[in-house]
Amino acid sequence: MLAREASDEPTRRSAADGSAPVILLEGITKVYPMGEETVHALRGVDLTIRSNELAAIMGPSGSGKSTLMNIIGCLDVPTSGRYCLNGRDVARLSQSELARVRGRGIGFVFQTFELLARQSALRNVELPLIYSGASAFERRRRATESLARVGLADRMGHRPNQMSGGQRQRVAIARALVQRPALLLADEPTGNLDTQTGDEILGLFADLHRDGQTIVIVTHEPDVAARCRRVVRLRDGRVESDEENA
């Protein structure tokens, strides 16, 4: 475990120069039946996100934004197309392999935090490590580290219902970071927060990005997108625009 980490660390740092693609999507389509009709949620999406990018995916509802996020997050598989996550083709993986990729390669941040209400912040952050089989000692160490990273070193024993919304989202981010994932995938991370707290969370994302973390934020708020360096807009299942913010 420790040996693997030691070798992990330099790779991630060296990839921070922005050349290696973390996400490589080629001709991704997603079709699913809805009653009698079939819905074409994605009609051929090509997208490359490189290491250490901070990208926003925007689009109105029905644009295929959520479907794309599910595929990027390995929660769903595309109908056709190629998806390489961190150099590994994940488009045709089995359920159990997808679970493994989700657990180790992707950190999720949800709009509604999705914390286990009855468990302490520390236990919440330890959750992904439980499923990857880390020892209790290792879990404790890395969860503590991760909570400290998001500025909650003094709130580890608190339960989510004893915390503010911003603190809860920080716990969720700590949980997403605890496996040192190749990709941090956030779905409307500020949607349930007031403007000021939302700003703080976006500030935290910016800090993480500065430290080399690859982050994709799915949002419909222009304010959030404005703080990302790159904005990908979707419409009707296709990439409408893909531009760098000034």
For the window 88-107, what string marks contact with another protein as x by the rule CB under 8 A?
Answer: -------xx--xx-xxx---
32 binds another protein (CB under 8 A): no
Report, in Å, the least distance between residue 226 CB and another protein.
27
Give φ, ψ of 101 to 5 degrees.
Answer: -65, -45
SS3 211: coil
Residue pointed to by tokens 């599910």 = 70
Residue 39 vs 75, nearer CB to another protein: 75
- Report if residue 73 touches another protein, rule: CB under 8 A: yes
CB 197 within 8 A of CB 165: yes
AA identity, residue 148: A
Q: Does 70 bind another protein (CB under 8 A)?
A: yes
Please give the single-letter amino acid code of residue 207: D
> Is 75 an interacting residue with respect to another protein (CB under 8 A)?
yes
Please identify, using beta-carbon distances, which residue of 21 and 73 lies nearer to another protein: 73
Q: For another protein, which stretch binds (CB under 8 A), given 8-16, 41-49, 67-75, 140-148?
A: 67-75
Binding region for another protein (CB under 8 A) out of 12-20, 40-48, 55-63, 69-77: 69-77
Q: How many Å is the Cα radius of gyration of the chain?
A: 18
Surface-to-core class of residue 1, CB atoms within 10 Å of its CB (0-12 exposed, 13-18 middle, 19+ buried): exposed
The burial of 87, by beta-carbon neighbours within 10 Å (0-12 exposed, 13-18 middle, 19 or more buried), is given as exposed
The answer to whether 114 contacts another protein (rule: CB under 8 A) is yes
Q: Count other C-beta atoms under 10 Å from residue 123's C-beta.
A: 18
The H-or-E segment that residue 216 falls in is: strand 215-219
- Near another protein in 128-157, by CB under 8 A: 128, 130-135
Number of residues located near another protein, criterion CB under 8 A: 27
Site for another protein, rule CB under 8 A: 70, 73, 75-76, 95-96, 99-100, 102-104, 108, 110, 114, 116, 118-119, 127-128, 130-135, 175, 179
